[in-house]
Structure 1
């Protein structure tokens, strides 16, 4: 099916399409021609409306579920609506106050993040999601302490005084002088950087120091950084609240889809990777149904927005997950406001 844009539709088709989508998102039921004639200001007979709906179905924007005479938007239709017709409004004052009450800045930041997930779940009637910031230690000093002929303890001291250590394997014949040389190199060249920044700069630094450090010490330097950058604890942490919201009266008729979605929520690492795509954006991202392979079976949508820490750097993502039949016009600005509030809290 070819992609369509709003400008490809006639004024009549655009108006009818908008009414169908908005009525479906509001009630969750197929929308018939008589409903459209009641809701719209179009001076068209139900027969004329049915003809336009048939045209919209043929281009893949609407579908007729089962034997119903009504239509619902397809995922392609929802994407077209969200990108070209969505008229979002600011959260109500009551919604803004509810979000700000949870994000007061009093207590640990972890409580505020969990609160953001919970309040979004309550306001949107979806499951709330928050990806917790990665802990990016800034390097102050490296040390290597030999434990045996084949192992050494790698010690990393951060600018904030935190100390971490890892056991690493040594190449045969590694001398104590090599450990000292590698530690001095790492401290001098990579001090003041985060681990991610250090990993990026390391290749350049080693290439420029080809004659200043021998081959064995070079391997120690590379392995010393790798001991942290490949550590599982560096993975983002995902907070999920309100899964029970996903099981409502409308979902009762489609329990297989709900079970699939709940199974997907258990795969937090996969969802975290999806949310990580929102980190690169400057505004709220919307992932609809099978646009993402993770939700190809459950037909779910995610609305997510990045939030920032010191210096405007993106540190995490907040959002909601629910059925594709979401009130996008209401939930999108709600997620965006929560992200902005978290940003103010963390700066």
Structure 2
């Protein structure tokens, strides 16, 4: 069912609809006509519970509200939430404390991934949701690569990137290598291939071997190629998503719907599917909101995603940041918070 324009509702229906949605988003519980009558009286909307029930029934027939059998109150449907978000929501800018917390997370020392993980954790803490950051798909630039012997035929390849990131891989090589071959290969990579991406280093190595410029013997040259390939082989599978704060999804309200939460946690484990969903937000000009079944990934868990692309200084999209939680999110507060985080990330990462 398509959401109707908010202008098609009467002023009375809009106000009652707004109170139901805001009450539900605040408490996570359906809102009854008596509570609405009290709220309306304090706001100048003097209607009896019977009159309010009539309006609620009309809103329900339009598909904007639902009427759970366990409660006399109403709660917004996904269509109703979309109408509210697109046509009625008044956003609240992040507080100075929230902005400071996000900016502090971005100043975390170490590689880019450390700052992104800290930002995801900070966003999770502030939103009480799961925070997600999609890491830019970029290959590390070599600063140093060391091959450390572990035993016969085995070594630890330790790559240090120019951004300070350190990664380890287990490397297998033929038995019987000459003494010093590992050290010679490590020194060659650091001296001749530093400052290049893995792909560039591999191409340069092949060119050196083909032209005869390489001073390495066959064993050391084989080690260099193996050391580079151990990363190049999994470059496409390199993790691109950081998720923090899944425990925030286990709040008191969630305990009454453990099947939904279990489904959501299972979805979050499938990081490639989450990354595919966030990839849709890469094409957006501003923050995107996916409510419940609007995205197939979280349709069963009935969860919402607020995501915003972040850009480098040239305006190119390099990643996506956002939060994932139940549909009863405080959208008015979280949309500008996610947007601020994206802008801050772009200034630091870009």
Match of 1:282 among 269, 281, 285: 285
Tell me which residue corresponds to 2:9: 9
Secondary structure of the residue aligned to 2:324 is strand
Match of 2:56 among 53, 58, 67: 53
Is 2:69 the partner of 1:34? Answer: no
Secondary structure of the residue aligned to 1:339 is helix
User: Shift of the alpha carbon at 1:28?
Assistant: 0.6
Q: How many pairs are equivalent? A: 272
User: Shift of the alpha carbon at 1:3?
Assistant: 2.7
Change (3 A) 1:230 1:106: closer
Tell me which residue corresponds to 2:70: 67
Tell me which residue corresponds to 1:321: 324
Secondary structure of the residue aligned to 2:342 is helix
User: Shift of the alpha carbon at 1:160?
Assistant: 4.7
Displaced runs of 4 or more, over 4 A: 157-160, 229-232
CA contact (8 A) 1:131 1:236 kept: no
Structure 1, unaligned runs of 5 or more: 139-156, 168-178, 184-228
Tell me which residue corresponds to 1:83: 86
CA contact (8 A) 1:135 1:234 kept: no
Match of 2:197 among 159, 162, 174: 162
Match of 1:237 among 236, 240, 247: 240
User: Shift of the alpha carbon at 1:346?
Assistant: 2.0
Change (3 A) 1:291 1:159: farther
Secondary structure of the residue aligned to 1:56 is helix
Structure 2, unaligned runs of 5 or more: 142-191, 211-231
Question: What do the CA deviations read for 1:99-150 (whole angstroms, capped 9, x no partner)?
Answer: 1111126432111100110001000000000000011689xxxxxxxxxxxx
The aligned runs of 1:55-204 (5 Å cut-off) are 55-104=58-107, 106-135=109-138, 160-164=195-199
What is the TM-score normalised by the length of structure 2? Answer: 0.73
Secondary structure of the residue aligned to 1:293 is coil
What is the TM-score normalised by the length of structure 1? Answer: 0.73
